[in-house]
Amino acid sequence: MSSIEHIPADFHERVAELGVVFDDGDVERLGAYIDALLETNKKFNLTAVKEPEQAWTRHILDSLSLIPVLTKEHVEHVVDIGSGGGLPGIPLAITMPEVTFTLVETTTKKAIFLNELVDQFSLDNVTIISERAENLSTKDGGFRDIADAVVARAVGPLNVLLELTIPFAKVGGAVIVIKGEKAPQEIEDARKALHVLKAEVESSVRTTTGTVVTIRKKDNTPKLYPRIPGEPKRAPIGKKVERH
């Protein structure tokens, strides 16, 4: 049975509240994406969600909650960091075909799955990169200062995530992340990182599925950042690390 038959009763109403208008075929492709995600999830872990009806809300609607901000930003190129099973990048790419997306995913088997989705849905606006974010956004990594917006979902706490995302954005561009109810505390914990990385939180908006936090890149990222792979998570900017 296709996921299209499990769309929640209020799904279209909640999409309309976001100001999102589907083109012909979008809903069918989103349903096919859920089918592929849940089927592949039986082979290796992509999501804790197991039921199609939950996926429409917790994955699709949550991803689409970024569209109002991306539209306001007039984006042409978006980078999705830690895309995993394609969230939020794939639903956004399906519904925003005029925007190009680069999905960054370190784990090889997940990147292979993402490439299969690109082929399945003929997503000419999507490129998959299987590499550590820290390597791509150095001065020689080829992806520094290239994105109008950088998006991320369920990648890590904000004080870690900022170092992984901000270097990709152009000066004046945005980092737009989906967080949960603890977003205010994460923002507070990231004050030092925001200062060091020359960025500031512009807005934090609760949606029906999470909290969309928009961060503005105010100036060039200092050359020191990002640090070597693993260091942002091991020693977040501004957080004292206990040494034994």
**Residue at 144 is within a domain:** yes
CB-CB contact of 34 with 27 (8 Å): no
**Full 3-state SS string of the chain:** CCHHHHCCCCHHHHHHHCCCCCCCCHHHHHHHHHHHHHHHCCCCCCCCCCCHHHHHHHHHHHHHCCHHHHHHCCCCEEEEECCCCCCCHHHHHHHCCCCEEEEECCCHHHHHHHHHHHHHCCCCCEEEECCCHHHHCCCCCCCCCCEEEEEEECCCCHHHHHHHHHHHEEEEEEEEEEECCCHHHHHHHCHHHHHHCCEEEEEEEECCCCEEEEEEECCCCCCCCCCCCCHHHHCCCCCCCCCC
Mean pLDDT over 123-131 rounds to: 98
**Residue at 44 is within a domain:** no
Average per-residue pLDDT for the chain:
95
Instruction: Measure the CA–CA gap between 235 and 244, rounded to whole angstroms.
Output: 14
**Residue at 48 is within a domain:** no
**Residue at 31 is within a domain:** no
Supply the pLDDT for residue 154.
Answer: 81
**Residue at 142 is within a domain:** yes
Split into its structural domains, the chain has a count of 1
Q: Residue 1: pLDDT band by 50, 70, 90 thresholds?
A: low
Angle value at C-alpha 216, between 199 and 61, nearest 5 degrees: 130
pTM of the model: 0.95
**% of the chain residues with pLDDT over 90:** 95
**Residue at 170 is within a domain:** yes
**Residue at 1 is within a domain:** no
Per the structure, the complete domain to which residue 135 belongs is given by 66-231
**Residue at 36 is within a domain:** no
Supply the pLDDT for residue 239.
Answer: 81
53-98 pLDDT, tens per residue? 999 999 999 999 999 999 999 999 999 999 999 999 999 999 999 9
Supply the pLDDT for residue 238.
Answer: 87
Q: Which CATH number does the domain housing residue 189 bear?
A: 3.40.50.150
